[in-house]
Amino acid sequence: MEATAQTDSLVEQGVSATKVMVMEQPGEGPRVRMVLQQCMGAQLMVQPPDEGSPPQFVEIRRGLIIYICFLRGATKTLTEKMARTALTVRLSESDDGKLVSVLDLPGDVLIIPQATLGGTIKGKVMQYHKNIAKEEGLQLYSEFVSIFRKTYERNDKCQTTGTVVRYGTYGNRQVFSCQTNGPYTHLIEM
Amino acid sequence: MEATAQTDSLVEQGVSATKVMVMEQPGEGPRVRMVLQQCMGAQLMVQPPDEGSPPQFVEIRRGLIIYICFLRGATKTLTEKMARTALTVRLSESDDGKLVSVLDLPGDVLIIPQATLGGTIKGKVMQYHKNIAKEEGLQLYSEFVSIFRKTYERNDKCQTTGTVVRYGTYGNRQVFSCQTNGPYTHLIEM
């Protein structure tokens, strides 16, 4: 509120609105951060080994690895927007060399919750003050995963080709391996 | 210049300097972007196969994978600062569970040039207008790698334990694989 009033006042004073912006309030900045990598295959542990039970893994073939982190202020709406973006942004190389979306490829998707992505460096340590509360993060993460699963389930091409969506366990240590012909690492923030 | 004059003028008008900042000029924003991941092992192709010659790979064991991207306005000074940051930030889990720097671990380092990290999303495609010119990027990349190599060469613990710095070929497709007990993916921008 105060911030807007200040901007208005500056504009009245003849300061171009395009030249001035008010400092972000604490907690502003990106609310969802995503790192995307292309892969030819990846394996992720979703259940650590436990007294006699071996660890459980999920696996994908060619497709997209999505590291996702929710920060304070992240909402369901923003989460949906981010999921749609990841599904439709043209970053996957098709067989004829064109860039298409992972959905159009169609390629597998591996979603990895990655709270560390919300870190801010301070001196020699990372701080995670901007991360969302764990419970809220889990809700948004589940929502994010759900959009991918539904989209793939309803997509004929995905069904015919057997492409899959796999995802990590929120809060777990993400033990995994991947193989890629070029990760083409991208950062998308909202 | 103009931007500074404008801020001064606003301050004279009684607008708190801490509340107002002038819009970034085109090309401002982060100038070096780095994504860090912890690994237990990684392999990177540094020379694609060529008429009869097999591809050449470099390999690291436990340590740090650094994806690095230089954007417009990146300088040698900033590159040095980023390298020092990556060397000293405490993100590596030591055997007793403490977080230490990769240099103190000591752990191997794999540096991967990753121009795609400079992308900005526009609709369904990524644009790379903010990336530095290729020649300049190569110079800064070489500088970045050089700092790691020299630091490791001069460090007794690294020499004794045989920890190494490996790096990708600038401009190449980065064919690689990695294994991790938890990537703890971090983003650092300067």
CB burial string B31-57: b at 16+ within 10 A, e below? bbbbbbbbbbbbbbbbeeeeeeeeeee
Report DSSP letters for B36-69, one per residue.
EEEESEEEEEEE--BTTBPPEEEEE-SEEEEEEE
Residue with the bigger pLDDT between A18 and B181: it is: B181
B5 pLDDT more than 70: no
CA distance, residue B66 to nearest chain A CA (Å): 11
At residue B18, the pLDDT reads 43
B3 pLDDT more than 90: no
At residue A61, the pLDDT reads 98
At residue A169, the pLDDT reads 97
Q: DSSP secondary-structure letter at A25? A: P
At residue A19, the pLDDT reads 43
Judged by CB atoms closer than 8 Å, whether chains meet at B20 and A19 is answered as no
The count of other CB atoms within 10 Å of the CB of residue A162 is 9
- Give the length of chain A: 190
Asked if residue B166 lies in contact with residue B59, where contact means CB atoms within 8 angstroms, the answer is yes
Q: Which residues pair with A51 in a beta bridge?
A: none
- Give chain A positions within 8 Å (CB) of B183: 67, 112, 114, 174, 176
Give tens-digit pLDDT for B40-66.
Answer: 999 999 999 998 899 999 999 999 999
Judged by CB atoms closer than 8 Å, whether chains meet at A176 and B180 is answered as yes
At residue B42, the pLDDT reads 98
CA distance, residue B114 to nearest chain A CA (Å): 7
Q: Which residues pair with A21 in a beta bridge?
A: B21
For the record, the structure tokens of B162 come out as: 């045989």
List the single residue in B with minimal CA-CA distance to A18: B23
Give tens-digit pLDDT for A30-81.
Answer: 999 999 999 999 999 999 999 889 999 999 999 999 999 999 999 999 999 9
Q: What is the pLDDT along chain A (190 residues), one digit of tens a residue?
A: 334 444 444 444 444 444 444 444 445 789 999 999 999 999 999 999 998 899 999 999 999 999 999 999 999 999 999 999 999 999 999 999 999 999 999 999 999 999 999 999 999 999 999 999 999 999 999 999 999 999 999 999 999 999 999 999 999 999 999 999 999 999 999 9
B182 pLDDT more than 90: yes
User: Picking from A159-163, B7-11, B180-184, which range would have the lowest pLDDT averaged per residue?
Assistant: B7-11
CA distance, residue B21 to nearest chain A CA (Å): 6
CA distance, residue B4 to nearest chain A CA (Å): 11
Mutate to test the interface with B, among A81, A112, A116, A175 (most CBs of B within 10 A): A116
At residue A28, the pLDDT reads 74
At residue B123, the pLDDT reads 95
For the record, the structure tokens of A161 come out as: 């080709």
At residue A17, the pLDDT reads 42
Judged by CB atoms closer than 8 Å, whether chains meet at A35 and B85 is answered as no
B13 pLDDT more than 90: no
At residue A176, the pLDDT reads 97
Ordered domains of chain B (ranges, CATH): 34-189 (3.50.80.10)
Judged by CB atoms closer than 8 Å, whether chains meet at B188 and A121 is answered as yes
